[in-house]
């Protein structure tokens, strides 16, 4: 069974940093592209980043470009999101999600809450 488990969320001040992790199991992690998606409280879904299976292709939404970095460690079956220069409007539940051939985001984690507040 495919499982994705996020961790690393919490409360941080504006301008601070956090590193989210997503631990994957139940599939060959190194052969799937991965994404981060977030959802601010009471708002819709926002795709924020993609990484290819090898890590050679990476894309970001404009809202996080230059502040967030997506990484993966295929040996550890793990996906990461390094978040720097955090702002109030980065407050959201952050989900990791796996792609499938010809599909998108067909498996999701349970999410981890990031709160940016002074």
Binding site for other proteins (CB under 8 A): 35, 37, 44-47, 50, 59-62, 95, 100, 102-106, 108-111
Query: Is 62 or 118 the residue whose CB approaches other proteins more closely?
Result: 62
Report the nearest approach of other proteins to the CB of residue 20 (Å): 15
| Rounded least distance, CB 15 to other proteins, Å | 26
Decide if 11 contacts 91 (C-beta within 8 A): no
Task: Tell me the C-alpha distance between 26 and 28, whole Å.
Answer: 7
The full DSSP string for 60-103 is E-TTTTTTEEEEEEGGGTEEEEEE-S--GGG-EEEEEEE--TT-
Beta strand extents in 15-67 (DSSP E only): 18-25, 34-39, 45-51, 58-60
Closest distance to other proteins from the beta carbon of 98 (Å)? 10
User: Judged by CB, which is closer to other proteins: 5, or 16?
Assistant: 5
> Shortest distance, CB of residue 110 to other proteins, whole angstroms?
6
Cβ proximity to other proteins: between 17 and 104 the closer is: 104
């Amino acid at each position: 069974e495919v499982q994705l488990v996020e961790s690393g969320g919490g409360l941080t001040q504006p301008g601070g940093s956090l590193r989210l992790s997503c631990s994957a199991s139940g599939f060959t992690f190194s052969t799937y592209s991965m994404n981060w998606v977030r959802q601010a409280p009471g708002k819709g879904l926002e795709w924020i980043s993609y990484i290819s299976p090898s890590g050679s292709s990476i894309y970001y939404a404009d809202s996080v470009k230059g502040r967030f970095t997506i990484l993966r460690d295929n040996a550890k079956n793990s996906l990461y999101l390094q978040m720097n220069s955090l702002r109030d409007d980065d407050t959201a539940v952050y989900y990791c999600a796996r792609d499938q051939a010809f599909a998108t985001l067909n498996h999701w984690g349970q999410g981890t809450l990031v709160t940016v507040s002074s």
